[in-house]
C-alpha cells in the first residue's frame, strides 16, 4: 500500500517540476547598459575597429569607473582603459571577423549588481549564437544608467 502511494507522489512531483517551456532570454535580467557593453566590446574586437568604437564603448562608463580583471591582475580607470584599447588597435591586435559577437548566456540580478555569464559567438539570422567551448563570468555595478565597476572573474 505504501509503495504505490510513494510512486504516485513521486510521479506527481516530477510532473510538477518539469520545465517544458523554453527558458527566457538571459539578457532579460540585465539593464540595457549591460547588453550594450557586450555589443560595443564586440565591435572593438572586430578587425577594422576604430577609435570611435572605443569612444562609444567607454561612453557606457561612469567617469570614475573601475575595471578589474582578477586573473590578469589588471585594474583600470577610464583613461587607462582607453589608452589600452587604442594601443591594441594601433598594434593590430583586434582581428575578429565581421560576424563576431558576445552573447549573454546567463544572468543573476542583484541590487544594482549583475553577475553575467557570457560567451563569444557568431551572428546568425540577426542573433548571436554563442560558442559552446567557453563561458566567462563578469560582475557589473550600475548606477544612474552607467557602469561603475566591472570585475572579470575568469
The pLDDT of residue 29 is 86
pLDDT band of residue 28 (cuts 50, 70, 90) is confident
- Chain centroid to CA 65: 17
Give the pLDDT confidence of 112-133 residue by residue, as tens digits.
999 999 999 999 998 999 998 8
CATH number for the domain including 24? 3.10.450.50
Q: Are 96 and 89 in contact (CB under 8 A)?
A: no
Q: Look at residue 52 and tell me whether its pLDDT is greater than 50.
A: yes
Helix, coil or strand: residue 1: coil
Q: Minimal CA–CA distance to 149: which of 122, 99, 110, 120?
A: 110
Please tell me the total count of domains within the chain.
Answer: 1
The span from the CA of 102 to the CA of 115, in Å, is 15
What's the pLDDT tens digit per position in 34-49? 999 999 999 999 999 9
Q: What pLDDT does residue 13 have? A: 42
Domain that holds residue 63: 2-152
Percentage of the chain lying above the pLDDT 90 cut: 78
Amino acid at each position: 500500500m505504501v509503495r504505490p502511494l510513494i510512486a504516485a507522489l513521486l510521479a506527481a512531483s516530477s510532473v510538477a517540476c518539469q520545465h517544458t517551456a523554453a527558458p527566457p532570454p538571459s539578457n532579460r535580467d540585465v539593464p540595457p547598459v549591460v547588453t550594450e557593453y557586450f555589443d560595443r566590446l564586440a565591435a572593438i574586437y572586430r578587425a577594422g575597429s576604430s577609435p570611435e568604437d572605443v569612444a562609444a564603448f567607454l561612453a557606457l562608463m561612469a567617469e570614475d569607473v573601475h575595471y578589474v580583471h582578477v586573473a590578469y591582475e589588471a585594474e583600470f580607470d577610464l583613461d587607462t582603459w582607453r589608452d589600452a584599447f587604442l594601443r591594441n588597435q594601433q598594434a593590430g591586435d583586434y582581428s575578429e571577423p565581421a560576424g563576431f559577437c558576445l552573447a549573454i548566456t546567463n544572468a543573476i540580478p542583484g541590487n544594482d549588481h549583475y553577475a553575467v555569464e557570457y560567451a563569444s559567438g557568431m551572428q546568425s539570422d540577426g542573433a548571436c549564437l554563442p560558442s559552446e567551448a567557453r563561458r566567462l563570468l563578469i560582475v557589473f555595478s550600475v548606477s544612474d544608467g552607467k557602469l561603475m565597476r566591472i570585475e572579470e572573474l575568469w
